[in-house]
Structure 1
Amino acid sequence: MKDIPGYIDITPGDFKEIYQLASRHALKRAAESVKAKDVMTRKVFSVKRSTPVEDVADLLALNGISGAPVIDDDGKVAGIISEKDFLTRLGIKDTGTVMGMIARCLKNKGCMIVSIKTGKAEDIMSSPAITVSEDITIQEIARIFTEKNINRVPVTDSNGHLAGIVSRADIVRYVPAQYKE
């Protein structure tokens, strides 16, 4: 308010309402104008179709990520492989958590991991991958996340090659960053 010359006579309630309306307007404007290329992570951990699932699991665990794009020999996105794909392949649909898997392994007196140990990324990936272009808005990406129940989407360039990835966290991180001065 110090930046506004003069005096504005409003109540605290008026100020709160103006602030909330302005904030909603700014968020809406940002969501309609900010593109995937503005928020995407450019350093993407990806795997090839032929990558052993053991190596995929290592990559995800070592980098603290829950999924990665699967790339074909032409550098195009062939699918996505995530924790959910591992759990689904193990037959764990209702208890899609690590503890659910442990409980199930203990009940079976064996471990279901053995059934996929020799597999490749292409054997368990979700395909075809849902991808977006660099120019799609974050508002549209958020809609895709909700409609498709996904947490990340690969971003492709005009040739269909992997250019980056947008996660829910990327969108959430973007909003507060815009209000820093």
Structure 2
Amino acid sequence: MQTSPHVVRDVMTRAVVAVGRDAPFKDIVRLMERWKVSALPVLEGEGRVIGVVSEADLLPKEEFRDGDPDRFTQRQRLSDLAKAGALTAEELMSSPAVTVHGNTTLAEAARIMARRNVKRLPVIDAEGKLDGVVSRSDLLKVFLRDDEDLTEEVRRGFVDRLFPLPADHIRVEVFEGVVTLTGWVDGAELMPVAERPARAVEGIVDVRCQLTGAIGTQ
């Protein structure tokens, strides 16, 4: 059974469509349409990632197709204007590429996507060569884990870790990704932190902590 934390190599797509530096504009558009992707890694040599060309890199050609922009726009969008006249992947690509390694956690990959406003990240090996691609939809795969799998991991990660002796006074139930913890704990001081290990399990949607302190505890 796969346990948390999951890493990028657990969910990434390994069969990746990529282009070289000299790939023509229209070939890039055709590949994106054919493979239903919004970005393509740009490779050189034996597969080293040197950039990424995305739909956003292609759109200026259409945006500025029917006229010259005013001077304000010219000053503010020099990069986009250059891409409007680009013909190859090398001229279009964003470089250096925003990449991750296979051992990057899914949480960190999600943060990188959010900060850099990208939908897909090339996954590279130690030499910078393309190993796969991870997308937003890939990061959501952890929420496909079944309730039985989640129940087992919550019990091992929460109950067995905090209570090394058999803890049959704590019940773990998961339904549709929502875990409910019921029963009692030996000390009331454990209650505020009781749900943290359960919430850290990837695939959990929410935690409902209904634990109480044992009789006689403060």
Query: Tell me, which stretches of 5 or more residues in structure 2 are unaligned?
Result: 68-80, 149-218
- 1:101-157 CA-partner distances (Å, limit 9, x unpaired): xxx76xx38xx9xx64x7110111111101111101000000101111111110011
Q: Does 1:179 align with 2:146?
A: yes
1:49 is aligned, of 21, 26, 30, to 21
Question: Secondary structure, in 3 states, of the residue corresponding to 1:141?
Answer: helix
Question: Quick one: higher RCO (CA 8 Å, sep 6+), 1 or 2?
Answer: 1
Count how many residue pairs are aligned between Structure 1 and Structure 2. 131
Q: Does 1:141 align with 2:109?
A: yes
* Structure 1 residue 176: Cα displacement: 2.6
Looking at secondary structure, tell me which structure has more strand per residue.
2
* Structure 1 residue 76: Cα displacement: 0.6
Taking only the aligned residue pairs, the percentage that are identical comes to 37
Q: 5 Å matches for 1:10-21? A: none
- 1:33-67 CA-partner distances (Å, limit 9, x unpaired): 11110010000010001111111111001111111
TM-score with structure 1 setting the length: 0.66
2:50 corresponding residue in structure 1 = 78
Q: Does 1:163 align with 2:134?
A: no
State the 4+ residue runs in structure 1 displaced beyond 6 angstroms: none
| Whole-angstrom distance in 2 between the partners of 1:179 and 1:129 | 35
1:96 corresponding residue in structure 2 = none
Amino acid at match of 1:136: T
* Structure 1 residue 81: Cα displacement: 0.6
| Whole-angstrom distance in 2 between the partners of 1:146 and 1:176 | 19
* Structure 1 residue 74: Cα displacement: 3.3
Amino acid at match of 1:50: D
* Structure 1 residue 166: Cα displacement: 0.4
* Structure 1 residue 91: Cα displacement: 7.2
1:69 is aligned, of 12, 36, 41, to 41
2:163 corresponding residue in structure 1 = none
| Whole-angstrom distance in 1 between the partners of 2:49 and 2:55 | 18
Q: Which has the larger radius of gyration?
A: 2
Cα RMSD for the two superposed structures: 2.3
Question: Secondary structure, in 3 states, of the residue corresponding to 1:130?
Answer: coil
Residue 127 to residue 91, structure 1, CA distance change in 2 (3 Å): farther
Looking at secondary structure, tell me which structure has more helix per residue.
1
